[in-house]
Structures are given as structure tokens and as C-alpha cells.
Amino acid sequence: MRDRVARLTGRAVVAGPAGHPPRCTLDDGTVVVVKDGAAEPGSVPAEAAGLRWLAVPGGPPVARVHGADDTLLVTGLVEPGPATPAGAERLGRGLAVLHAAGAPALGAPPPGGPADAWIGHARMGDHPHDGPWGAWFAAERVLPYLRAARDRGALDPAGAAAIERVCGRIGDLAGPEEPPARLHGDLWSGNVLWAADGDGWLIDPAAHGGHRESDLAMLALFGLPHLDRVLAAYDERVGLHQLFPLLVHAVLFGGGYGDAAAAAARRL
């Protein structure tokens, strides 16, 4: 492994690999993390392409790719630290920037990434789709995994039928169309690494084009620290857009609407 890490990074390895996940120290003092994806063909090219695609100016910090081949990924080490309210707010603002960076289409893989990707240890197809989000989400993200869960006995017939009914009504439930967002794609709390610099760093993406609310929903699924701060910062421009209706209400009705407009301005 040392020779492969040296070849991928262009630096000699002076220590390691050691630990879990394996770490190596390069001859310039850089500590890198090494991930072997041989058991999941295509996972390393997908992850490397995803990490590069997610590294947008103003977005959340992303683990740096030092090198990758078909089965070995070398990324920078993120020194761990505590989750803080201020860091959560920066994460929320960064996610808004990341999502707004956009994607060519729903289901589009990152540039250079394979169409046959992974989410965790499960296969995930990334195939561009030009129809409505709900139809794509049902066909590409819900129904394939519904069938697999049912086949392995993890979902009973009644539960499967309930999910199928939701897919049948997806057009009514999906809400208004939005441009495809640039998604991390597997943004549960374990893939946000709180670092010594106070920021929440993104790791282990299943990046693709999708609906921005999918990332936010996954953050809420398994209990991210300071989630309320993340979501408030993500939506902090709501206050900017509220200035107009608040001032209209102040003109028409008086009361506390003027104070509310001033409070929104102070928060901004």
C-alpha cells in the first residue's frame, strides 16, 4: 500500500499505514487517510469525483483528494474537534452555497464520476433525468430500494404498499419544481466531521444532482448536533425577503410589525 500511496500522491511515505482508517505520513509531514474500495467496484472513482465536485467556493470544507485510482482513495486528514453553534451556522450557510452551485440534471453524476455509484454499501445509479423531480425520485431513489428491502424481508407487504401509494401520489407531494441542486447525497450526521478548526467538514459523499431538501432531510434523520442552527443559517435569507411584507404590515397595521422588521434587519 505504501508504494501505491506514494504513486498517487507524488510523495514518499515515511510512516504508516496504521490505524483505522489507515493513515500515512508523507515526506512533507502531511498526514493522509487511505481508503480501499476494492470490494465495491466503482466506489472510489465515484467518491473522488464527488469530493472534488463538492469543493465549491463558499461551500462547506470538503476532505481534499490527494490521489485516487480505481480502488484506492487518498484524502487529507481532518483533525477532529467539538461541534459548536458557530460551526453549525457556517455549515448551514455553506450548504446553501453548495446546493445553489447546481447540477446539470437530476441524477447527474459528478464530472468524471461513474453512472454506477454507491451510497454506503448499496449500489446507486446516477443517470441524468430531464423530467419532474418527483418522477425521478420515485423511479430512481425509492422504488429500487423498496423492492430490495421487500425481497430481503426488511419490509412487510403493508409497509411496501404504503410506500407504493406515496410514489403513486408523488406529483402531488413533491412541491414546486426547483433547479437541480448539487447534493452530497449521503449527508447523515456521520458524514459531517466536526474539525479542530470548528467547521463541519463533508466526507464520504454519494454526490449527484437532486433536490436540496434531500440533504437537509438526511441531516435531520440521525440527529446532527446543533441542527436547528444549521437549518436557521441555511435559511437566513428568509429574513431579507420578509422585510418587505413586514414593512407593508407596519404601514397598514402598525403594532409590532415595525419592530419585527427592525429585528429581522439586525439579524441580517
Residues assigned a catalytic role? 186
Pairing of strands 72-76, 181-183: unpaired
Query: Grid coordinates 425481497 are at which residue?
Result: 151
Whether the CB-CB separation of 136 and 177 falls below 8 Å is answered with no
C-alpha 13/C-alpha 267 separation (Å) is: 49
C-alpha 9/C-alpha 30 separation (Å) is: 11
C-alpha 17/C-alpha 78 separation (Å) is: 16
| Cell representation of residue 256 | 409590532
Torsion of CA 117, 44, 65, 8, to 10 degrees: -150
DSSP assignment letter at 107: T
The conformational region for residue 42 under phi > 0 = left, psi -120 to 50 = alpha, else beta, is left
Tell me which residue of 234, 268, 192, 229 sits closest to 88, measured CA to CA. 229
Instruction: Return the ∠ at Cα 106 (arms to 155 and 181), rounded to 5°.
Output: 105
